[in-house]
Every structure is written in structure tokens, then in C-alpha cells.
């Protein structure tokens, strides 16, 4: 029987991959092993490039998105590379396999006017949940942090006198993000309100549920989805949309692309350059509206 446990331990303890990566890789590899069982392959050394290609074809024919297929192949490449390192196989059957092309999609973002309406005009309750929810929205839009980064925040991550917040991104890499004065004040106000509701003892998490437990991903997602639904008709209303909105707003205001890259925690500039397409779309709109011959 094919086992992936040693590989998952390698990801956790040597590569220091996030729990989300480990869970995702486990799922992908279990699906591949299930496929191998269907075609009666029990030995990893017997897997060929043709087998991998046939798996790709099956996933595509089943309607799976190219991005998802490619993610599964990335997991497979990493797995077989590990097996070669452990000298369990000699050749990787994934090497050189052509993967589906991913169609380019522009990041979805909320317009500045819509965010200003939400944060300045829409009333939030003055109880703990209202104060917390508004700060969550303001932190996403004001810093560009990821959902996982926000959920994992602790009190010590905030340097209120300096107006800074430290987040731990992908591959356990830390970065420090600036906060504007209004956001800093909101952080301070939130801490005071939290003390009133749950006492002054140290919490494991900066954000808490209304029962005082550590906040979790689905709750944050529901909060963002609920409030964005008040100001936008976008189909997708997620924390990542606010991250896109942060980057697009900075770029449209003339911010340097390299600076945006550092704020977002991107490992290379290619991931950040996608926002220039949104900026270019805005330029075209302005041209069409302003040019006398358009």
C-alpha cells in the first residue's frame, strides 16, 4: 500500500509548510493514489508519464478548473521529488508533463467609493461584535493582509506607538505593515472594548468570537461577505477581494509596484503586476470619458 505520511511529515517539520498546504497536498495525493488503485498500480516505481497524463485528462474532462489541476500536479511533483531524494524511486513520472494553461483573470476589487461608503457611512453596532467587525474590514482594506494572517494575529503583533503591525505570511515569513492613524486608533479602541467584554487577561488570539474563543476563518469570511454585500453587487465578496482592493487603490494612486509587492508579501513581481491590468482598465475608462473624439 502506498503511504504519504512520511512526505507530509517532511512538509511539516523540514519545509515548515502551512497547515493549509499540508491539508491541500494530502487531499491531492490521496486522490492520485485512489486513481492508481483504479488502474491497479500498487508500486510507485510503476507509475509512468502516461499515467499522470491520463489523470490530468480525466480531471479536465470532469470539468475541473485548470488552476486546480495544476495545483494537484504541483503537489505530485513535490511528492515524487521527495521520493527521489529518499532514493525510493529513480525517475519522476511528473517531470516534463504538460499541464493545462490557466486563463488570465483580472483580480476582483471593490471601488474606493464603495469602501468609503461602507467604512464611513454604514452604521456598525457599538457592541463588541460591531467594533470587531469594522476593524476586521479596515485592517484588510488598510493593510492588504491575507485571511490567514489576520486570523493568526496576537496582541504582541501590534506596535501602536509606531503605527505598525507584524504579520506572518507564507512559509512562516514575517513582514511589518504600516497603519494609518485612524486604523491605529481603531485598534486601540477595539482592545479597550475587548477588555470590557472579556477582561484584561492575555488572549491567544487578537480577534475573538462573541463567546471569547479564538476567531476562525469561516467567521471572518462571513463578516466580510455580509458587509461587502451592503455596498457592492460583486459575485465574490471575500477577504481576498479586499486584499485586491488594497493593491488596486495604491496602484491607482501612483504607488510604486515594488512597494506594493513588499506590502503584499509577494515573492516575485509577477504576482503583483496583475494589478497593473486593473489600473490600465481605469485609464481606458478615463480616456473614453474625457477625450473629445472618443
Q: How far apart are CA 163 and CA 177, in angstroms?
A: 9
Q: How far apart are CA 198 and CA 210, in angstroms?
A: 9
Pairing of strands 158-159, 174-178: unpaired
- 240 in active site: yes
SS (H, E, C) 5-19: HHHHHHHHHCCCCCH
Q: Which of the residues 72, 237, 243, 244 is marked catalytic? A: 243
- 146 in active site: yes
Q: Which of the residues 134, 146, 244, 261 is marked catalytic? A: 146
Q: Which of the residues 15, 81, 111, 240 is marked catalytic? A: 240
- 266 in active site: yes
Residue 170 CB coordination number (10 Å): 15
Phi then psi dihedrals of residue 242, to 5 deg: -70, -35
Phi then psi dihedrals of residue 178, to 5 deg: -80, 155
Q: Which of the residues 170, 175, 277, 282 is marked catalytic? A: 170
Here the cell at position 11 is 512538509
Question: Are 145 and 167 contacting, i.e. CB atoms less than 8 angstroms apart?
Answer: yes
- 243 in active site: yes
Q: Which residues are the active-site residues?
A: 146, 170, 240, 243, 266, 275
Amino acid at each position: 500500500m502506498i503511504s504519504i505520511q512520511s512526505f507530509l511529515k517532511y512538509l511539516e517539520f523540514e519545509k515548515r509548510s502551512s497547515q493549509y498546504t499540508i491539508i491541500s497536498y494530502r487531499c491531492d495525493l490521496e486522490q492520485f493514489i485512489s486513481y492508481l488503485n483504479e488502474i491497479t498500480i500498487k508500486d510507485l516505481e510503476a507509475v509512468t508519464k502516461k499515467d499522470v497524463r491520463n489523470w490530468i485528462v480525466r480531471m479536465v474532462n470532469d470539468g475541473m478548473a485548470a488552476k486546480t489541476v495544476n495545483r494537484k500536479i504541483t503537489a505530485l511533483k513535490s511528492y515524487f521529488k521527495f521520493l527521489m531524494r529518499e532514493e525510493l524511486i529513480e525517475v519522476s513520472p511528473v517531470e516534463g508533463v504538460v499541464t493545462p494553461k490557466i486563463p488570465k483573470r483580472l483580480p476582483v476589487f471593490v471601488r474606493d467609493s464603495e469602501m468609503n461608503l461602507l467604512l464611513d457611512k454604514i452604521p456598525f453596532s457599538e457592541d463588541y461584535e460591531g467594533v470587531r467587525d469594522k476593524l476586521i474590514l479596515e485592517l484588510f482594506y488598510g493593510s492588504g493582509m491575507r485571511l490567514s494572517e489576520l486570523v493568526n494575529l496576537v496582541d504582541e503583533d501590534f506596535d501602536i506607538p509606531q503605527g505598525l503591525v507584524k504579520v506572518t505570511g507564507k512559509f512562516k515569513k514575517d513582514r511589518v505593515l504600516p497603519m494609518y492613524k485612524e486604523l491605529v486608533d481603531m485598534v486601540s479602541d477595539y482592545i479597550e472594548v475587548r477588555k470590557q467584554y472579556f477582561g484584561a487577561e492575555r488572549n491567544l488570539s487578537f480577534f475573538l468570537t462573541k463567546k471569547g474563543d479564538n476567531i476562525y476563518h469561516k467567521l471572518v469570511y462571513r463578516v466580510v461577505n455580509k458587509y461587502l454585500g451592503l455596498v457592492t453587487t460583486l459575485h465574490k465578496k471575500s477577504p481576498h477581494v479586499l486584499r485586491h482592493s488594497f493593491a488596486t487603490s495604491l496602484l491607482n494612486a501612483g504607488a510604486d509596484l515594488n512597494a506594493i509587492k513588499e506590502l503584499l508579501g509577494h515573492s516575485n513581481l509577477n504576482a503583483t503586476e496583475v494589478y497593473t491590468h486593473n489600473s490600465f482598465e481605469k485609464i481606458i475608462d478615463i480616456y473614453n470619458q474625457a477625450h473629445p473624439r472618443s
